[in-house]
Structure 1
Amino acid sequence: MSIRLLLADDQALVRGALSALLGLEPDLEVVAEVGTGEDAVTAAAEHTPDVALLDVEMPGMDGIAACAAVREASPGTRVLIVTTFGRPGYLRRALQAGAAGFVVKDTPAPQLADAVRRIHQGLRVVDPALATDSLLTGDSPLTARETDVLRAARDGASVAAIAAELFLSEGTVRNHLSAAIGKTGASNRTEAVLVAVGNGWL
C-alpha cells in the first residue's frame, strides 16, 4: 500500500519538483497538488491523504492555519510542514496547530521521503537545528492583540488605519505598539515587526 500524499505550495515550480522527487519513491504516491491553504483543506476532505506536506507562506490561509483546518477536514491525515522559512516561532505554532513534523525545503529528497514515512508511522519529525532554536527563543512574548496590531503595521499602515481595521481606538493601538516595541527590544515599530517576523511570531 502506497502512502498517499497531498502537496500544498504556492510556487508551482517547487510543488512540481517535490511531486517529481517524492513520486520516484516506490511507496509514495502524490494524489493532489494545490497552491493555496484553502485548496489544501478542500483536497484533504476530497482525497483523505495519509500525509499532507504544507508550505507556511501561502496567500490567503497560511500553512499553519491550513494545518489545523486539514486536520479537522481529514482527521486521519498527518501534516508535515515543509518551508523555506525555518523560524522557531513557526515551528512552535505549527506543532500547536497539530503538525506532526517540520522540515526545511533544502532537506535532501531521501530524508524528506523518510520524514514522510516516519510521520505516517505515527512519529514526530522536527528539524533538529530548528528545535534547538525554538527552545532558546521561547514562546512569543506578545499578547494576541499586540500580535494583531503588529501584523496590521507590517505594511507601514498608519495608526488611524490600524485602528479602523481592528476596530480599536488610536490610543489603544499606540499602547499595543508601544508594548510590542518594548517586548521585542526594538527602537521603533518597523524594527519590532522585523524582530517578530524573524522569530516567526507573526
Structure 2
Amino acid sequence: MKKFLGLLSLFALLTAFTCENEPLDTDLSNASTTTNLDLVGAWDLQEFSVTLNSSTSFEGQTFSSDIDIASTEVDYVVEFTQSSFVTNGSYSYSTNVVFDGETISSEPQSLENVTGNGTYSTSGDEMTVDGSFFEFEFDGMDNSVLQGEQTANFEISNDGQTLTFTQIETVTETDGMTGTEIVNSVNSISVWSRQ
C-alpha cells in the first residue's frame, strides 16, 4: 500500500503543472520548427490541472481511484536557458478524490518557496527533462523519487507568448511476487505565459 500511495503522490506531483479548459492558440505545424532557443527566458504559470486514474487488481478484486487536481492560486516561474531550467515560487491547488465510488474532497493545499532545477532537451514537440520542476516533501517522503528523466509534449503559440505542456501517460506495474497489478493513467496540462 505504501508503494501504491507513493505512486499516486509521484504522478500527482510530476504533473503538477497542468491546466483545464484553457484555450490553446497553437499551430501544430509550428511545433516541428520549435527549438530550445524559442523556450529561453522566464515563463509565468497561469494554471494547471491533473487527472489521475488508478486501478489496482489483487486476487480477483479491483480497487479504483480517480484524483482531480486543479490550481487555485499560482505565483510560479520557470526560466529556461538553452539546455537547463530553474523554477521558483508558490502555488495552491484543490484535490477531489473518488475511491471505489466514495468521494473525498480536500481543502486547497499551498506550497510556498518551491524551487527546482534540471536540464532538458527537445525533439519536435517533445521535451525530455532530467531534474525536477519543484522540490517537495510530503509525510517525510524524500523528493529524490521525483528526480530523473520525464517526457511531455509542449507547444508555443504563434506569437510566442503562450507555452503549453501536456502529458498523457499510462503506466502498468505488476508485482511478480503477489500478482498485484497497478494501472495508473495521468492526463495533465499546464499553461504558461512569457514574462
Q: Which has the higher strand share?
A: 2
Please tell me whether Structure 1 or Structure 2 has the larger radius of gyration of its CA atoms: 1
TM range (shorter): under 0.3
Instruction: State the TM-score, normalizing by the size of structure 1.
Output: 0.23
Instruction: State the TM-score, normalizing by the size of structure 2.
Output: 0.23
